[in-house]
Structure 1
Amino acid sequence: MNYKSHLDKVPIFKKIQECADALNLETYVIGGYVRDIILERPSKDIDIVCVGSGIELAQAVADKVGHVKVSVFKNFGTAMLKDGDWEVEFVGARKESYQRESRNPIVEDGTLEDDQDRRDFTINAMAIRLNADHYGELIDPFDGMGDIKRQTIQTPLDPDITFSDDPLRMLRAIRFATQLNFDIHPDTFYALGKNAERLSIISRERIADELNKIILAKTPSYGFKLLFQAKLLDQFFPEMVALYGVDVKNGKKHKDNFYHTLQVLDNVATVTDDLWVRWAAILHDIAKPPTKRFHPKAGWTFHGHEDKGARMVPGIFKKLKLPLNDKMKMVQKLVRLHLRPIVLVKEEITDSALRRLLFEAGDELESLMILCRADITSKNERKVVQYLKNFDIVEEKLKQVEENDSVRNFQPPVSGEDIMAYYDLKPSREVGAIKDAIKEAILEGQIKNNHDQAFELMKKLGKEMGLERKED
């Protein structure tokens, strides 16, 4: 099979061909770019392998393109350049061997065959020749084309050795299966479970990178089910594994919170590509196992799981090497508040409750409503429809209250500095009490969210506390 017509659409390939022939280097485009040509997926990352010096080839191509900087990584024998939207990486063909305690290989120069042998999966081991004599010719020694047609992920060589050598490939197998909606070959899947404990030599940063790519897939639940079944999830995310299972007592049972969480995640994924809203879906019920209790009359309860879950978020993020910044705080807020709109749906809605939700949710209100809608996973379709209609009512009332009171992300119109200046005070309990009382009065609707009414309340509260105004 020949892909010359495709290569001709991308000018950089012709320049690579000319430089490779001038340097007498056997050269190929290999890996993900070739796979994506066949799958008709967009790709801007091009991997070039040559039998010889990849760095020398990269520098020659940069000279031909002109005004292009080459980034050289001598320790790895690689070089990279950018040509418009294209990012092209060059490397010399190599063969690899591994030591058990490390995923960093011992590298030697090799042939194209050696380089294809070291690839993770058959669909990533295909290469297209770039030299003029066989330009566009596909080299597919492991039937990667057949696996694409069969929609199958499998390793070129023994999967047990492949995964033991570099355990990160186990997560990559599941990531590709999730992104492409492929199956994993039975022998390859068996090797995942057999080598699961080998993930201990992989950094949490690399694990988190693959996990986030799974989470961002169209149907992320598929990846989590594979991680769970292969016992890989146990290695780095036991808190999520703990959600699995149903307990039955006195004829009463609760839902399987693992599969419920995956349903919520998929529901969120149909609405937003925001990684952190998807993380909130994953973690919204994470504290249900430690808060689970059985009461003879009420059955199974999970009281306070939203607050405990919010407290668990920083520890989980830290362990997984996820960012401990505003993204983590956003997830924490969504986990803490995820029951609040549901309570409003069930009860008579008061303006005070709406104001409090607006104030506490702030900029995350839309994300919170996405999560809450996704959290309705009842098998009773009529019940789901009714809940969603009630959410529509809540959202409309939230808009009305915000238009009238402007309490979303508000700061009390009389600040602590105003209070201290008026009464000639230093930071103190009295200042905090007055400020909190003004905030509560606004949220309860006792006063409007404006300076004049807040200032009058400040004077009233100060008088009750026995404070005297500073003399000018």
Structure 2
Amino acid sequence: MHSKDFTKALTHPVFSFITKASEELNLQSFVIGGFVRDFILNRGSAKDIDIVTVGSGIELAKKVAQLLPNKPKVQVFKTYGTAMLRYQDIEIEFVGARKESYTEGSRNPEVSEGTLKDDQNRRDFTINALALSLNEETFADLLDPFDGISDLKRKIIRTPLNPDITYSDDPLRMMRAIRFATQLNFVIEKESLASISKNKDRIEIITRERIIVEIQKIMESSVPSIGFLLLEQTGLLEILIPELTALKGVDEIEGQKHKDNFYHTLEVVDNIAPNTEDVWLRWAALLHDIGKAPTKRFDNKNGWSFHAHEFVGAKMVYKLFKRLKMPLNNKMKFVQKMVLLSSRPIVLASNVTDSAVRRLLFDAGEDLDSLMILCEADITTKNLAKFKKYHNNFKIVRAKVKQVEERDRIRDFQPPISGELIMETFKLKPCREIGQIKNVIKEAILDGKIPNEYQEAFNLMLSYGKKIKLEVQD
């Protein structure tokens, strides 16, 4: 591409103000990194822009803010020598060109002023080292010292310097390489991929919070399995999420095998990706079978079994989230819930009774639709007849759910009889009998013995109260 091709990339009005500020301060300035890469790949409008200048990035940011019509506030990060401002729909970060040197135990480098070439040398990948000039005389000229353009055309992830140096200096770049390969559907160059395996243990110096940011971006990609296969291939997955690698492999005893639950899991994640952008439902797909490794058993009569793996897996979710410094909030509880219930609709599909549907509605509540999406993604059989049969079964379940829900109003179940009414009727103070009565009413409704209506529930309350020798008070 010639410079005239890149003028199209610089049409946003903020670039003219950066050019003017650079000329007034007599600074060489460039837009660099993801903005340039994504323009060449035609990946849509950028929401953030990185500006590097040979000089003070903070001084340039302040000058640009003075020139902009809305005089935006400049956020200054003196420790890092960076500044940030927002204009219209774009977040712009300014930094002075620098060179970096690292110590073995930290990914935080010693930084000193440098040239644009120094700054490009420190970039993680050749496709992120592309820069466009923002000065008047050289406006939109491309500076590509590592032939990143060719790597973009060949769809290759490659480091500007020796990959052992790049990854050892900042091991988070190993995760970024895999993340970019997943997002862009690129291939990591052979030497670079081997270097990730070689340096995998260096990932331990990276905080789990930074690692999870990259894993989340892999999870949000259109084909997440690309990233998880690379994580497994390089040995990073064994370090970060050993619960998944424990699923790998097929055991055979007396001619009886089970499927490889690791590769099955990745199929499920890929299956669910087109049907939901909810990253936590995708996490549920990734973790839905993690309880199978610790519960795997073989007996001569029944072959392989994974008894209670959903229950075990749901408990494992908490430990995994805690270890990876992920949110221990409703997001985690949702994933636990999906893992715990992940087999229920599958079992239900073979015997769709009203009672079983009511219990599923009660237990899944507002998350039933997500659960059904997960269970349908869990169908990975290559037998076309079975594939069709299983999906038809789920259609039957969905139809039955709709019918029962409309009739019995279970999804957002609220007991027709409150604890306060029970206390008032029998003149009770808080005690275990109140919970017993509420549970009897709930079970009767779920079993279809009484409808989900006040009068029927009230009558049952009276009869059960009489049974446990409670007296109605006038």
TM-score (norm 1): 0.98
Q: Secondary structure at the match of 1:229?
A: helix
* TM-fit CA distance, 1:84: 1.1
Contact 2:32 2:130 in 1 (8 A): yes
Equivalent residues of 1:33, 1:47 under 8 A apart: yes
Contact 1:4 1:135 in 2 (8 A): no
| 2:241 paired residue number | 237
Aligned partner of 1:415 in structure 2 is: 418
1:293 correspondence with 2:297: yes
Deviation per CA, 1:148-191: give whole Å up to 9, x if none.
01100010000001100100000000000000000000000000
Partner of 1:228: 232
The change in CA–CA distance for 1:31 and 1:204 in structure 2 (over 3 A counts) is same
2:58 maps to 1:55: yes
Deviation at 1:469, TM superposition (A): 2.1
1:401 counterpart (401, 404, 410)? 404
Q: Which amino acid aligns with 2:373?
A: I
Aligned to 2:12: 10
- CA distance, structure 1, for counterparts of residue 241 and residue 430 of structure 2: 44
- 1:234 Cα deviation from its structure 2 partner: 1.0
Deviations 1:132-163 (A, max 9, x none): 01000000000100000110001000000110
CA distance in 2, matches of 1:7, 1:352: 61
Gaps in structure 2 of 5+ consecutive residues: none
1:313-328 paired onto structure 2 within 5 Å: 313-328=317-332
* Pair 1:445 & 2:448 matched: yes
Q: Residue deviations 1:344-389, cap 9 Å, x none?
A: 1122x11000000001001110100001001111110110111101
Pick from 329, 338, 343 the counterpart of residue 342 of structure 2.
Answer: 338
Tell me how far apart the structure 2 counterparts of residues 150 and 341 of structure 1 sit (CA, whole Å). 45
What secondary structure is seen at the aligned counterpart in 1 of 2:275?
coil
Q: After superposition, give the CA deviation of every residue in 1:292-311 in whole Å (9 maximum; x if it has no partner).
A: 00011211111110111111
**1:448 CA displacement:** 1.2
From 104, 120, 143, give the equivalent of 1:100: 104
Distance in 2, matches of 1:314 and 1:417, equals 34
Work out whether residues 365 and 412 of structure 2, in 8 Å CA contact, stay in contact via their aligned partners in 1: yes
Specify the code of the residue in structure 2 equivalent to 1:51.
V
Picking from 84, 90, 94, the partner of 1:86 is: 90
**Counterpart residue number, 1:114:** 118
Q: Of 152, 155, 163, which residue of structure 2 is paired with 1:148?
A: 152
Residue 20 of structure 1 corresponds to 22
Answer yes or no: is 1:205 the counterpart of 2:205: no
Match of 2:380 in 1: 377
Question: Which amino acid is the alignment partner of residue 86 of structure 1?
Answer: I
Distance 1:8 1:276, change over 3 A: closer
Q: Gaps (5+ residues) in structure 1?
A: none
CA deviation after TM superposition for structure 1 residue 66, in Å: 2.9
Secondary structure class of the residue paired with 1:235: helix
- 2:269 maps to a residue whose letter is L
Look up the match of 1:39: 41
SS of residue matched to 1:300: strand
Which residue identity is paired with 1:111?
T
SS at match of 1:427: coil
User: Contact (CA 8 Å) 1:7, 1:13: kept in 2 or not?
Assistant: no
CA contact (8 A) 1:45 1:88 kept: yes
Q: Work out the percentage of aligned pairs sharing the same amino acid.
A: 59
Structure 1 residue 121, shift from structure 2 partner: 0.2
Correspondence 1:169 to 2:170: no
Tell which deviates more after alignment, 408-417 or 148-157: 408-417
Aligned residue number for residue 467 of structure 1: 470
Report the CA distance shift for 1:8/1:119 in structure 2 as closer, same or farther (over 3 A): closer
Query: Structure 2 counterpart of 1:318, which letter?
Result: K
CA distance in structure 2 between the partners assigned to 1:414 and 1:336 by the alignment: 28
Structure 1 residues 184 and 7: CA distance shift in structure 2, 3 A: closer
**Equivalent residues of 2:264, 2:380 under 8 A apart:** yes
Number of aligned positions between the proteins: 470
Report the equivalent of 1:432.
435
Identify which range, 1-10 or 91-100, moves more after superposition.
1-10
For 1:468, what is the secondary structure of its paired residue? coil
Deviations along 1:223-258, one digit per CA (max 9) or x if unpaired, are 000000000111111111101000011011110000
- The 3-state SS of whatever aligns with 2:349 is helix
Structure 1 residue runs of 4 or more that deviate by more than 3 Å after TM superposition: none
Give the counterpart letter for 1:391 in structure 2.
Answer: F
Residue 134 of structure 2 is matched in structure 1 by 130
Residue 356 (str. 1) matches residue 363 (str. 2): no
Shift of 1:8: 4.4
The one-letter amino acid paired with 2:102 is Y
Instruction: State how far apart, in whole Å, the 2-side matches of 1:119 and 1:415 are.
Output: 63
| SS at structure 2 position matched to 1:81 | strand
CA change 1:8–1:104 in 2 (3 A) is: closer
Q: Alignment RMSD, CA only?
A: 0.9
TM-score, length-normalised on structure 2?
0.98
Distance 1:420 1:328 in 2: 35
